[in-house]
Amino acid sequence: MFEGFRLETVQLPEASLRVRHGGSGPPVLLLHGHPRTHATWHRVAPLLAESHTVVCPDVRGFGQSSIPEDTHDHAGSSKRAKAKDCVALMRLLGFDRFAVAGHDRGSYTAFRTAMDHPSAVTHLIILDGVPILEALERCDARFATDWWHWFFFAQPDKPEQAIMADPEAWYGGSADQMGAEAFADYRAAIFDPRVIHGMVEDYRAGLSIDHLHDADDRRAGRRVQCPTMVLWSMRDDLERLYGDVLGVWRPWTTSLRGKGIACGHHMAEEAPQVLAAEILAFLRTI
């Protein structure tokens, strides 16, 4: 897994991150979603590394990276805090400017990185996500039924208790789907009570502080300044919930493209070659 990549833990101003990096050329940062670790990219990263420097961290609160301290507003788990980690990590590795791709919950951190640090981000790639504010404002009975976990995870204590009763039954996943090494890494994470808390806090931040940052941006008329590509899984919920996914993103961006991919939610595991080809084409043509 990740042959030729280096694995290390780095200390940043506000967090320590486990990070895997390799390849050479223009840098691209890959941010995983919930409940994965950076290992979800193990089939995509080597394809990108043929022409790019690829950086795959465990996002703060996930995997083997540090868990933020609890505060009443969940600011330590906010996407703004995690965006600071992204910029600090890339600068530590020698990159002042970089492309960033984020999947699922990682897409919110990728978006916030591009919004808060426009001079640092050359390209933004969103995988299976819309801005948190848009999701909440468009929430209806269908969203609340299918994505009920957003609101359950916002409750104190009970989500952690429910998940830790049987993490593997709660989250699923298999070595056949994910690859043996990636599955072992993921399984170690979901059986760690600290990690479960860190992952749930990511949702609590979404409903307490992240959407306020989105609202501030919209009031100020701020948009993503770099080229943006949005990809979504055709066998997942995004298109069914929002219809015109690009239409949701258009008011937030200045240069936008995107389409659906014929796979399920975990596209880096299910359609790695297609995903890598789309990312490379986007990075090379703009």
Active site positions, annotated:
104, 265
Going by C-beta distance under 8 Å and a sequence separation of 6 or more, which residues neighbour residue 130? Answer: 238, 242, 245, 248, 249
DSSP labels for 5-43?
Answer: -EEEEEE-SS-EEEEEEEE-SSEEEEE--TT--GGGGTT
Tokens linked to 72: 């009443």
What span, in angstroms and rounded, lies between the C-alpha atoms of 89 and 31?
12
Going by C-beta distance under 8 Å and a sequence separation of 6 or more, which residues neighbour residue 131? Answer: 108, 111, 214, 248, 249, 252
158-165 and 193-205 helices, crossing angle to 10° = 140
Kindly tell me the number of DSSP H helices and DSSP E strands found in the chain: 16, 8
